[in-house]
């Protein structure tokens, strides 16, 4: 079964699902109130330089100042000696010869680009190494370098593409040749190069005229960006439920990818398009913490501010032969589901996977190899360490935008994001301690205690003895009043 792009567009939201082999593999969401800003270029003003962190904060006009690390500061006097070849997003990594305080001063204006959206409590991450992605090439106007996507493995093809780009590129600028360029003609590359260099000229002119902070260039909207970056020969069909969006996609492809062979359909059935393709159920599943495996085992996914922890359990699966065999099969099944969930949920940063402990080294190697293989289809850069004797795998996955859970959910206002509340018994005992403190200063003979209804039930029943002891010791009458609107941990003590 070929891959498909399913696009749902309304006035307030656009959702794009990449379906691989009949299953949703990636989901992109952009809301009209919160537009994606990755790739946007701003003229910013340095507001603070931090020598101790070798970084600076730059005002680019957003709610929070953006973070600029020293390695992301461009200085024409520096020479860069280390590059990483890869797809768009794996920009050249410079080794600066000067500390941040020699490169930037407070009040200085400079051109920067969003490399990571604001995530959690952190502001946007920015870079002064501008990169402009096209269909076949990524243009880097500040770096004189030509790189080839690591996903193009044929050495002869790599040499052919490098020779073409070396010959046609402007002096001083650099390019990364994207995976989709594999087998493409010089004409295709030249068309992309002309478009990108012209775009950079327009950005440079606008920068000279604009004050800071201001937006200089907006990247494409989510639909155009996904079509540009994901639409390959493996995608057989695009299905979209909006006529304006349909027309826009057709125009975009005919302009920038005229040789692309594809099928695009306008969906006009009454049933919502994501329901028709069975995607809503998968999206809801991707927001849960527990994911069941077909064998009866399951994985638990917990996302924190610093890292994501994934725990593998045998659950209902008891196996057929022996314990080690059961554990191996569960771990191998979990590997495929974990790789799938990382892409679908867009989980990034530090990830710790707690596989079920395996005694045999050969089994640990099998699971590690399976994880490496499963992550090969992931476009985001990953780095995996060997499985420890405790069964733990430490890995990183490049994160440039919020995860699906963080984007579609918010911390529970009831538990304040903890994921739990104090038990009703704990609240009762806390009330007893508070009453002992308050009783010493209460002059009246009656005390009104207002609590959550379920806590009130417990105080009238199992914990009644605690109230009676307080009444006897302090010679005061305690009346319990239930208030439905109270938080389970909330209570009030008042003299009546």
Final residue of a structural domain among 186, 217, 248: 217
Q: Tell me, yes or no, whether 453 and 398 share the same domain.
A: no
C-alpha distances (whole Å) from 320 to each of 216, 323, 325 are 63, 9, 8
Q: Tell me, yes or no, whether 144 and 47 share the same domain.
A: yes
Q: Tell me, yes or no, whether 263 and 330 share the same domain.
A: no
The reported pLDDT for the residue numbered 91 is 42
* Structure tokens, 288: 């849960």
Q: Is the predicted pLDDT of residue 108 greater than 90, yes or no? A: yes
The reported pLDDT for the residue numbered 287 is 87
Q: Is the predicted pLDDT of residue 301 greater than 60, yes or no? A: yes
Strand partners, 308: 303, 351
User: Among 68-82, 86-100, 216-230, which range has the highest average pLDDT?
Assistant: 216-230
Q: Is the predicted pLDDT of residue 16 greater than 60, yes or no? A: yes
**What's the chain's average pLDDT?**
86
Average pLDDT over residues 242-261: 85
Q: Tell me, yes or no, whether 49 and 187 share the same domain.
A: yes
Final residue of a structural domain among 384, 408, 432: 408
Q: Tell me, yes or no, whether 352 and 468 share the same domain.
A: no
The reported pLDDT for the residue numbered 93 is 44
* Structure tokens, 9: 């567009």
3 state DSSP class of 158: helix
The reported pLDDT for the residue numbered 319 is 61
DSSP type of residue 34: B
Q: Tell me, yes or no, whether 471 and 401 share the same domain.
A: no
The reported pLDDT for the residue numbered 76 is 37
Q: Tell me, yes or no, whether 365 and 396 share the same domain.
A: yes
- Residue 188 maps to a domain: yes
The reported pLDDT for the residue numbered 171 is 85
Give the CATH number, domain containing residue 479: 3.40.1260.20
Q: How confident is the model at residue 247 (pLDDT cuts 50, 70, 90)?
A: very high
Q: How confident is the model at residue 73 (pLDDT cuts 50, 70, 90)?
A: confident
Range with the poorest average pLDDT among 174-178, 255-259, 266-270, 315-319:
315-319
Q: Is the predicted pLDDT of residue 80 greater than 60, yes or no? A: no
3 state DSSP class of 166: helix
Strands (E) across 117-212 are located at: 125-127, 132-133, 137-140, 146-148, 174-177
Q: How confident is the model at residue 81 (pLDDT cuts 50, 70, 90)?
A: very low
Q: Is the predicted pLDDT of residue 249 greater than 80, yes or no? A: yes
Q: How confident is the model at residue 58 (pLDDT cuts 50, 70, 90)?
A: very high
Residue 194: count other Cβ atoms within 10 Å of its Cβ: 12
Average pLDDT over residues 200-210: 91
Q: Tell me, yes or no, whether 63 and 196 share the same domain.
A: yes
Q: Tell me, yes or no, whether 157 and 114 share the same domain.
A: yes
The answer to whether residues 356 and 349 touch, using CB atoms and an 8 Å cutoff, is no
* Structure tokens, 130: 């501008």
The reported pLDDT for the residue numbered 94 is 46
Give the CATH number, domain containing residue 296: 3.30.1370.50
Where do the H-state alpha helices sit in 210-320? Answer: 222-230, 243-256, 273-276, 279-285
The answer to whether residues 390 and 359 touch, using CB atoms and an 8 Å cutoff, is no
Number of domains in the chain: 4
The answer to whether residues 211 and 43 touch, using CB atoms and an 8 Å cutoff, is yes
Q: How confident is the model at residue 372 (pLDDT cuts 50, 70, 90)?
A: very high
Average pLDDT over residues 369-391: 88
- Residue 462 maps to a domain: yes
Q: Which of these, 396, 386, 495, 392, lies nearest to 448 by C-alpha position?
A: 495
Q: Give the structural domain span for 431.
A: 424-495
Q: Is the predicted pLDDT of residue 97 greater than 80, yes or no? A: no
- Residue 156 maps to a domain: yes
Average pLDDT over residues 399-403: 77
Q: Is the predicted pLDDT of residue 228 greater than 70, yes or no? A: yes
**The model's pTM:** 0.74
Average pLDDT over residues 19-45: 86
Average pLDDT over residues 67-87: 55
Average pLDDT over residues 272-291: 90
- Residue 91 maps to a domain: no
Final residue of a structural domain among 354, 380, 408: 408
- Residue 416 maps to a domain: no
- Residue 270 maps to a domain: yes
Q: Tell me, yes or no, whether 268 and 295 share the same domain.
A: no
Q: Output b/e per residue, 342-369; b: 16+ Cβ within 10 A.
A: bbbbbbbbebebbbbebeeeebbebbbe
Q: Tell me, yes or no, whether 20 and 45 share the same domain.
A: no
The reported pLDDT for the residue numbered 236 is 84
Distance of CA 145 to the CA centre of its chain: 29
As a whole number of angstroms, the distance between CA 356 and CA 341 comes to 18
Q: Tell me, yes or no, whether 59 and 193 share the same domain.
A: yes
C-alpha distances (whole Å) from 435 to each of 172, 357, 423 are 75, 49, 18
- Residue 46 maps to a domain: yes
- Residue 284 maps to a domain: no
Q: Is the predicted pLDDT of residue 233 greater than 80, yes or no? A: no
Residue 389 CB partners (closer than 8 Å, separation 6+): none
Q: Is the predicted pLDDT of residue 198 greater than 60, yes or no? A: yes
Give the CATH number, domain containing residue 24: 3.30.420
Give the CATH number, domain containing residue 177: 2.40.50.140
User: Among 44-53, 378-387, 410-419, which range has the highest average pLDDT?
Assistant: 44-53
End-to-end CA, the chain: 73
Q: How confident is the model at residue 335 (pLDDT cuts 50, 70, 90)?
A: very high
């Amino acid at each position: 079964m070929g891959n498909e792009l399913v696009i749902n567009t309304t006035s307030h939201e656009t959702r794009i699902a990449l379906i691989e082999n009949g299953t949703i593999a990636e989901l992109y969401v952009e809301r009209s109130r919160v537009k994606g800003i990755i790739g946007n270029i701003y003229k910013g003003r340095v507001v603070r330089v931090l020598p101790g962190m070798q970084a600076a904060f730059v005002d680019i006009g957003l709610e929070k100042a953006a973070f600029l690390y020293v390695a992301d500061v461009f200085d024409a006097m520096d020479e860069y000696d280390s590059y990483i070849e890869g797809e768009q997003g794996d920009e050249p990594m410079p080794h600066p010869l000067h500390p941040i305080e020699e490169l930037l001063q407070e009040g200085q204006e400079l051109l920067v680009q969003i490399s990571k959206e604001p995530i959690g409590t952190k502001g946007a991450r920015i870079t002064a190494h501008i990169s402009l992605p096209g269909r076949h090439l990524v243009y880097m106007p500040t770096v004189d370098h030509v790189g080839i996507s690591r996903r193009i493995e044929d050495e002869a093809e790599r040499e052919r593409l490098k020779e073409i780009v070396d010959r046609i590129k402007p002096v001083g600028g650099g390019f990364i040749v994207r995976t989709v360029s594999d087998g493409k003609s010089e004409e295709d590359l030249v068309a992309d190069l002309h478009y990108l260099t012209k775009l950079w000229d327009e950005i440079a002119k606008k920068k000279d005229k604009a004050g800071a902070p201001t937006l200089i260039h907006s990247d494409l909207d989510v639909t155009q960006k996904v079509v540009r970056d994901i639409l390959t020969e493996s995608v057989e069909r695009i299905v979209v439920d909006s006529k304006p969006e349909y027309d826009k996609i057709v125009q975009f492809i005919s302009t920038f990818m005229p040789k692309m062979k594809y099928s695009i359909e306008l969906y006009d059935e009454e049933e919502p398009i994501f329901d028709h393709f069975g995607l809503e159920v998968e999206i809801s599943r991707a927001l849960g913490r527990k994911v069941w495996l077909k064998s009866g085992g399951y994985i638990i996914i917990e996302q924190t501010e610093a890292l994501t922890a994934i725990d593998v359990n045998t659950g209902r699966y008891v196996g057929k032969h022996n314990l080690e065999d059961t554990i191996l099969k569960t771990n191998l099944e979990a590997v495929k589901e974990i790789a799938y969930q990382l892409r679908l949920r867009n989980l990034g940063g530090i990830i710790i996977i707690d596989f079920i402990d395996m005694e045999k080294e050969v089994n640990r190697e099998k699971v590690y190899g399976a994880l490496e293989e499963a992550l090969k289809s992931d476009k985001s850069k990953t780095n995996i360490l060997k499985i420890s004797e405790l069964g733990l795998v430490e890995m990183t996955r490049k994160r440039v935008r919020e995860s699906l859970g963080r984007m579609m959910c918010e911390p529970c206002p009831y538990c304040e994001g903890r994921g739990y509340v104090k038990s009703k018994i704990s609240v009762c005992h806390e009330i007893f301690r508070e009453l002992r403190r308050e009783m010493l200063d209460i002059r009246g003979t009656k005390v009104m205690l207002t609590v959550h209804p379920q806590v009130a039930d417990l105080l009238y029943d199992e914990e009644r003895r605690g109230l009676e002891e307080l009444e006897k010791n302090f010679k005061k009458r305690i009346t319990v009043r239930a208030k439905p609107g109270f938080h389970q941990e909330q209570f009030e003590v008042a003299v009546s």
